[in-house]
Structure 1
Amino acid sequence: MQAHSDDLHYSRTSVYSLQYHLIIVTKYRRDVLIGSVKQELEALLRSLADQFDMQIEEMEIMSDHVHMLVDASPKHSISSIMKGLKGVSARMLFMHHPEIKQELWGGHLWQPSYFAVTVSERSEEQIRHYIQHQKPSKGKTR
């Protein structure tokens, strides 16, 4: 069952409903999230989300960035979640796909910054639609 913004989650110390639209971008907007890298990244992000008590409601991986709509626990801050997602995914992808390091200068997969915005009940469907209907930029592939 997918959680929606009107669904409440219960823990021992809190009742919450926290959804975020998160975007991470590759360093220099390099088109490295393709083929088996893209597939492995999706599996990695879903696995890491479980470790942060977070559910990925929607995800679209473009060749140079990732959009996620997540339902998160207040147990972890967004900054710690993003640090974990970006750090572990970069280490694992570089280990399994050393060829992508050739596309990046300085050995970093992700831009140091990220985008995070809270999702209200009125905007949730708009964000879901936006993520589901991402189109590649001119000259870019998924």
Structure 2
Amino acid sequence: MVSEPEYRRGRSVVSALHVHLVFVTKYRRGVLTDEMLTTCEQVMRSVCDDFGSRLVEFNGEGDHVHLLIEY
């Protein structure tokens, strides 16, 4: 069963906009620790809240971070 996507509804617009961001370390070296990833997720959630968007998903490893943001 496919779930119905959540739509943002405005006065004259209906939208479901998402962006997938990937941040990569220089030379793809594994420099990000679990503590750094946890802090990064908290900061990104705060920034999304400030801009009126929502961080749907956050994943990361030692050399990159994936963010799925709904705005």
Q: TM-score over 0.5 for the alignment? A: yes
Equivalent-residue separation in structure 2 for 1:5 and 1:24 (angstroms): 29
1:41 maps to amino acid: C
* Counterpart position of 1:83: none
2:41 maps to amino acid: E
Equivalent-residue separation in structure 2 for 1:47 and 1:28 (angstroms): 28
Question: Over the residues paired in the alignment, what is the CA RMSD in angstroms?
Answer: 2.1
Runs of 4 or more, structure 1, over 6 Å off, are none
SS in 2 for 1:50: helix
Superposition deviation, residue 20 in structure 1: 2.1
Superposition deviation, residue 12 in structure 1: 4.8
Superposed, 1:1-142 pairs within 5 Å as 6-12=5-11, 14-72=13-71
After TM superposition, the score normalised by the length of structure 2 is 0.75
Equivalent-residue separation in structure 1 for 2:12 and 2:51 (angstroms): 17
Which ranges in structure 1 are unaligned for 5 or more consecutive residues? 73-142
Equivalent-residue separation in structure 1 for 2:67 and 2:20 (angstroms): 6
* Counterpart position of 1:75: none
What is the total number of aligned residue pairs between the two structures? 69
Q: Quote the sequence identity (%).
A: 35
Superposition deviation, residue 15 in structure 1: 2.4
SS in 2 for 1:36: helix
Equivalent-residue separation in structure 2 for 1:52 and 1:64 (angstroms): 27
Equivalent-residue separation in structure 2 for 1:52 and 1:26 (angstroms): 25
SS in 2 for 1:45: helix
CA deviation map 1:44-88 (0-9, x unaligned): 11111112222111110111111122211xxxxxxxxxxxxxxxx
Which ranges in structure 2 are unaligned for 5 or more consecutive residues? none
Normalized per residue, the structure richer in helix is: 1
Normalized per residue, the structure richer in strand is: 2
Q: Structure 2 vs 1, CA of residues 19 and 65 (structure 1 numbering), >3 Å: closer, same or farther? A: same
